[in-house]
Amino acid sequence: MLARASPAERSALRFTALILFAVLALQRLGLPFAGKAFSMVGPIGLAIVVYGLATGALQFHRGRLVNYLIFLALVLMGTAYHAAFPGGFGSGVNINSLLQFLVLTSFAIFTFAAPVEEGAFFRLVTFALVLVAVAGILQFVAQFAGLRLFSFTGLIPDSLLYEAGYNLEIPVGIGSIMKSNGFVLVEPSVFSQLMAVGLIIEAVGTRRARYLAAFVAGLLLSFSGTGWIVLGAFVLGSAVAMGKRGLVIAIGVVAMLAAVLGLAAVLAPDFVGALGERLSEINRPGTSGHMRFITPFWLLGDVTSSNPVSMLLGIGSGESEKLTLPFDYDVNTPIKVMVEYGAPALIAYVLLFVLGRKTRIQAALVLPLVVLFMFAGGYQQFPPMLFFVLLLTSVARLRPADASRAVQPPEATPRPAMPPGRAVPAAR
């Protein structure tokens, strides 16, 4: 992979490998600060950015830098308003939350200094994801042999753990069997989302059977519906935006998953029933699916109806999670950004994920990755998923496979020398 790459491409691929290691392998590690634990991936990721700038792997993306400055101005305008006129819907401004949000989001303003071949970049990404898939599959199988390792508590000092608040150990609903969380990831839902991303990349790209099988197995063993939502976004987007080829890919993915589910329904009906139960949660109040996908919009309706100015300026950083409402609720990324900073800031925020030229695989990933980030979890201040999504959609500056490298023209065969004493025949 690196042998044929230029020095600039090798630097970008090294940066990519370091970021992938941080966002995947270090998700559960934290750093204590002011009595709280913060994800270790945040400072490590930003340090890798500094390394990338120093080695020439990264540069600023002018379009997203301008957009980020507009976003920053909108956020600070709302913050100044709430500082000058306190006592609105929210109780104030959480400066620590605001600074963390803005610093982590600045990851979007960087890009590769030189374009990297699309195939080389995504082979590195899928290699990292398939390692997680294998780890998750082994984790699930190992519990049948009495080996349960779903949390690092007791293995790593508590001061270095970032597991509090995450659902690491979730029963499938069949005996004492637990859902796989990918071994190094914080939740089965995150595992399922990353498996869906890996499956999409392989379906659009090289379509290696062993990789496809690993991603499908990981998706199934997570027993989480969010990965299927990401796949649904891909199927819909590819069928609409990629023409006949996209339609063929979408039909192929649906047929493959239907065949796998059909086989699983025959061999392990209880497991398929548990998966179906999970997918139906969105319609049942009190379940995690309903909390994640329905209650955020109830929250938005209550806030905007009680305080119309919040549509423009929000109610203040960190305030969306402190409200007293007549129902239990959760907040996803777009609702949190809109409620806290206003609709104009949300528009500028979303543009950070979509601005810039995209290659074929990147274009196929934009919609599912935006759906993943915006609706599958509150990832706006969770560095592992924020950096991962921005790396694939924005930071990675890619180019299509180099045709001159892919197909080399045959070398001309030299004409044999004429024997001495013979004249060269004249050309006719």
Q: Taking Cα atoms as reference points, which of 413, 371, 417, 362 lies closest to residue 391?
A: 362
pLDDT at 412: 45
pLDDT at 202: 94
Q: Taking Cα atoms as reference points, which of 247, 226, 272 lies closest to residue 373?
A: 226
Tokens of 303: 């806030």
Tokens of 22: 């941080």
The average pLDDT across 285-303 equals: 71
pLDDT at 215: 96
* Residue indicated by tokens 């190094």: 184
β-strands 30-33, 110-112 pairing: unpaired
Digit-coded pLDDT (tens) for 245-277: 666 666 766 776 676 666 655 555 665 555 555
* Count of residues making up the chain: 428
Spatial contact of 191 and 146, defined as CB atoms under 8 Å apart: no
Question: For residue 101, is pLDDT > 60?
Answer: yes
Digit-coded pLDDT (tens) for 324-334: 776 667 788 88
Q: What's the Rg (C-alpha) of the chain?
A: 25
pLDDT at 413: 45
Spatial contact of 158 and 36, defined as CB atoms under 8 Å apart: no
Could you count the other beta carbons within 10 Å of the beta carbon of residue 208? 13
pLDDT at 340: 86
Fill in the amino acid letter for 308.
P
End-to-end distance of the chain based on CA atoms, in angstroms? Answer: 50
What is the pTM for the complete model shown?
Answer: 0.83
Name 116's bridge partners.
398
Q: Taking Cα atoms as reference points, which of 56, 75, 66 lies closest to residue 10?
A: 56
